[in-house]
Amino acid sequence: MAADIDILVSEVGPRDGLQSIKPILPLDAKKAWILAEAAAGVREIEVGSFVPASVLPQLADTAEVVAFARTIPDLEVAVLAPNARGAENAIKAGAHKITLPLSVSESHSLANLKRTHDQVIDEATRIAQMIRELPEDKRPHFEGSLSTAFGCTIEGQIPHTQIARLAERLKKAGCDEIGISDTTGYADPLAVRQMVKLVRAAVGDEAVTGIHLHNTRGLGLANVVAGLEEGLTTFDASLGGLGGCPFAPGASGNIVTEDLVFMLEAMGLKTGIDVDKLCQVRNILKSHLPDEPLYGFVPDAGVPKGFIPATPVSEVSA
């Protein structure tokens, strides 16, 4: 993480948000969105997913989006890859970070990725191998992410022993980092603290730095505070909570980037992000996705009078 920030806010809207809605955001609008967020100070953006266009036509242009995002100075370009083939394309495109999701619920894994746990671990091993064969300065950061960690819509709660074992297997397969993902929005602050401890005990403290939270039941920011208390330093969020939740009408998808940044800065934690500028970026989504609801409180209410962000934000020239 850059030395001038305390917390890395990773914008995942162009991937998680866009894959959850029907309309396809045109390539130019994606570029404008990514550029504007980087200009507001966002340091890492998950710009897409290397899945077949037949599965997610919304993300069919991911390689082009990566190529564009790489031209923005100091921006960490992250992508999702569901398998080794996707990772190969991600490497070709030049992504800085690749995340392979492993659903700790095997039923969810079969439903979503059409793969058993053994098969996903196999993909992780192949991806790590591919990365090791690259010159050192060309190797992307490789994260294995434990999705449905807080429960799954098919199996409910997943046994902690099973989650710990899968975290260990991902690390052994060669992942640099193990992420924790509340895919279903089941997490609560106590569960977050327990899960971070559990996964850290399995793979070591330094391999667990971030969490991916949804706000399905309104506990998103409370869960962030729990993560902060455990010493996590990376939080995923999406602009306007884009994406919503198919199971909970009116609920946002990911936690809202604007509200997250405001909370962190208000708590004296430097994100490097200018909240006002960030809120302006919503206009891009509003004009291109007029029928999609956007969530968040700070964009409507504004920042409090006399609000002083944790850090003067230096201008990003991009």
Q: Which residues bind Zn ion (CB under 5 A)?
A: 16
Residue 96 exposed, middle or buried by CB count within 10 Å (0-12, 13-18, 19+)? middle
Neighbours of 311 (CB within 10 A): 18
Q: Are 252 and 189 in contact (CB under 8 A)?
A: no
Coil vs helix vs strand at 289 = coil
Which residues are bridge partners to 46 per DSSP? 78
Nearer to Zn ion, 259 or 274 (CB): 259
Give the integer Cα–Cα distance in Å for 153 and 82: 20
Q: Decide: helix, strand or coil at residue 47.
A: strand
What tokens were used for 196?
């971070």
- In the residue annotation, 245 being an active-site residue is answered as yes
Closer Cβ to Zn ion, 72 or 180, answer by number: 180
- Of 79 and 131, the one with the shorter C-beta distance to Zn ion is 79
CA torsion sign, 7 to 11 to 17 to 19? negative
Closest CA to 124 of 163, 61, 196, 177: 177
Smallest distance, Zn ion to C-beta of residue 16, A = 4
Q: Which is nearer to Zn ion, 90 or 180 (CB)?
A: 180
Least Cβ distance, residue 318 to Zn ion (angstroms): 26
Least distance to Zn ion from the beta carbon of 276, Å? 26
- In angstroms, give the least distance from the CB of 214 to Zn ion: 6
| Given the residues 152, 175, 245, 279, the one annotated as active site | 245
Residues 141/161, Cβ–Cβ less than 8 Å: no
Q: State the catalytic residues.
A: 245
